[in-house]
Amino acid sequence: MTAIKHVGVVGAGQMGRGITEVCARAGLHVTLCDVTEDRARAGLAGVADSLLKAEKRGALAPEDRAHALAGISVTDDLSRLSGADLVIEAAVEDERAKTALFRQLGEVVTDPAAVLASNTSSIPIARLAAAAGRPESVVGLHFFNPVPVMPLVEVVPSLHTSKATELRVRTFASEILGKDTIVAQDRAGFVVNSLLIPYLLAAVRMVGSGTATAEDIDTGMTAGCAHPMGPLRLADLIGLDTVAAIGEALYEEYREPLYAPPPLLRRMVESGLLGRKSGQGFFSYQTA
């Protein structure tokens, strides 16, 4: 089994930055790619800031921070990923966009030993694998936010993913990145989001129906159920647009009403109230 030394990450948003950081801290060479070089550089700046905070907390030695940063390069050119051993897609949670991207990656990354992975939260891996044209080497590798802190990675093989590919990425996530791994079947939502999203949407429905305020719902779950974070602050952290997109994908797959995004969530997304990323969701994150 060929060692993974060069990782490509496509998408320099919150998840892409986190994946880039944990890979770089593990001593890997990482190429971070986005649609423009400015966006890729903004992603690198976010990684640099996170690494500096880790150093200030005493969680990272100065020399290790410098080594991690030195191992990251940025680009807006997908062809720069042609030599990667593993490419992890962390683009927007939109099936059309991801499918188009995997079609491009299948053309660019021609080494048959290279693995193409998606960080999708809900889109079936088989659809992405078909677009890539090399389904045996495509797999889901679903990280959780914030990636440097959350210990779990879901490994999601499709019906066509080879056992060698599945073993390779699970070994990579557990032994190289130090993550806990679970294997999920290729069903929308996998394990965690199939359980989590109905819970978050139920909390949104409670706000929409006037059952309780967002503050009281979250206090009920933190003080009454010992959850570390209430469902509505968690939804804000994930991004309300992402929660809605995952809900849509789950509803499309299962046609169960509990997966359908409620009207309040749809209106908030349409209004740009996306949670932490926009500064306002169910709670305010505006800075003075």
pLDDT at 99 over 90: yes
Record the tokens describing residue 268, joined without a space. 């908030």
The question of whether 271 is a catalytic residue gets the answer: no
Residue type, 11: G
Give the position of tokens 């209106």.
Answer: 267
Asked if residues 183 and 171 have their Cβ atoms less than 8 Å apart, the reply is: no
Q: Which residues contact 260 (CB under 8 A, 6 or more apart)?
A: 201, 247, 251
Record the tokens describing residue 249, joined without a space. 């994908």
Catalytic residue among 50, 118, 119, 121: 121
The question of whether 119 is a catalytic residue gets the answer: no
- Report the chain's terminal Cα–Cα distance, integer Å: 52
How many helices (DSSP H) and strands (DSSP E) are in the chain? 11, 8
Q: How many percent of the chain have pLDDT more than 70?
A: 99
Q: What CATH fold (topology level) applies to the domain 193-270?
A: N-(1-d-carboxylethyl)-l-norvaline Dehydrogenase; domain 2 (1.10.1040)
Q: How many percent of the chain have pLDDT more than 90?
A: 93
Enumerate the domain spans of the chain.
6-183, 193-270
Q: Does 89 show up as a binding residue in the annotation?
A: no
Q: Does 12 show up as a binding residue in the annotation?
A: yes
Q: Does 16 show up as a binding residue in the annotation?
A: yes
The question of whether 215 is a catalytic residue gets the answer: no
pLDDT 10s digits, 143-183: 998 999 999 999 999 999 999 999 999 999 999 999 999 99
Residue 98 CA to residue 118 CA, distance in Å, equals 9
Q: What is the mean pLDDT of the chain?
A: 95
Q: What number is the average pLDDT over the span 101-117?
A: 95
Catalytic residue among 142, 158, 194, 278: 142
CATH for the stretch 6-183: 3.40.50.720
Q: Which residues contact 115 (CB under 8 A, 6 or more apart)?
A: 4, 85, 86, 87, 137, 138, 139, 165, 168, 169
The question of whether 248 is a catalytic residue gets the answer: no
pLDDT confidence tier of residue 11, bands split at 50, 70 and 90 = very high
Q: Does 229 show up as a binding residue in the annotation?
A: no
Q: Does 93 show up as a binding residue in the annotation?
A: yes
Catalytic residue among 21, 89, 95, 154: 154
Higher-pLDDT residue of 2, 59: 59
Q: What number is the average pLDDT over the span 255-277?
A: 97
**pLDDT at 2 (0 to 100):** 75
Residue 229 CA to residue 41 CA, distance in Å, equals 32
Tabulate helix, strand, coil % of the chain (nearest 5).
50, 15, 35
Catalytic residue among 50, 158, 193, 194: 193
Neighbours of 272 (CB within 10 A): 11
**pLDDT at 1 (0 to 100):** 63
